[in-house]
Chain A
Amino acid sequence: MESDPIEGLAQVAAARSALADRLVTPRWYLPAFGAALGASALGLGVGLPQGLPLCFAALVVAIALPFIQTHRSGVSYTGSVRGRQDRWIGALLVAVLLLDGAALLIGLSAVPALVALVPATLLLLATIALGRGYERELRAALGAGR
């Protein structure tokens, strides 16, 4: 155990930084996650029950991806560090609800199913943008955390 408290706190900060670096997802992760969420919106937009298989398959992929990333990085993060990154996750949840809702309305209406590509594409882009923001803030929070 370290005897100098300043050195001890520096070691804590270094360990947290190393953890933050490890939690950064590979380049393919957010586009793949966004594509899965977008595909689920597209499935809803096509209309039920025709779009149900696509919706189901997309959700399976969206649920599987975080498990794959955990296995790949060797870190299972609990989200226990509070910080501004929580806002980005909140914004992503709102985007998913709004755009999935819009896609569902398109599926229920007489609007051509092709229109569902709009919320699907927006969800893909929102996932990438908000996911990058989340990772940036998480790195900052972990690096600064005690």
Chain B
Amino acid sequence: MAALAVTESVEFAAIREMLGVADSVLSKHLKVLQDAGYVALDKPTGRGGRVRTWVRPTEEGRRAYDAHVAALLLLVAAGTIPDTTPTATRN
């Protein structure tokens, strides 16, 4: 999402190369993001019928990403990391 958030869209193969992961791994993660409404997948048919999948961040995805980074920055600024272990949560 860090790379996607500042782009209009990024092609599937470009993301795969940037992250250095296999097609199946990337597909799985994109499916999760798509189901959450954070990205949309476009498959315009190119010349010769070749389909290139472009991944586009949604407004909701951008907002969620910005909020996530803001939270990370707050945690770093505060110098504390919340303890979210089950024991800590119960107490």
Contact = CB atoms under 8 A, between A and B. Distances in A.
B88 to A, nearest CB: 13
B29 to A, nearest CB: 11
Nearest to B20: A18
B9 interface: yes
Interface residues of A, number: 25
Given A74-B11, A75-B11, A6 B76 contact: yes
A19 interface: yes
A142 B73 contact: no
Interface residues of B, number: 24
A4 B69 CA distance: 12
A18 B19 CA distance: 8
A26 interface: no
B50 to A, nearest CB: 12
Contacts of A75: 7, 10-11, 14
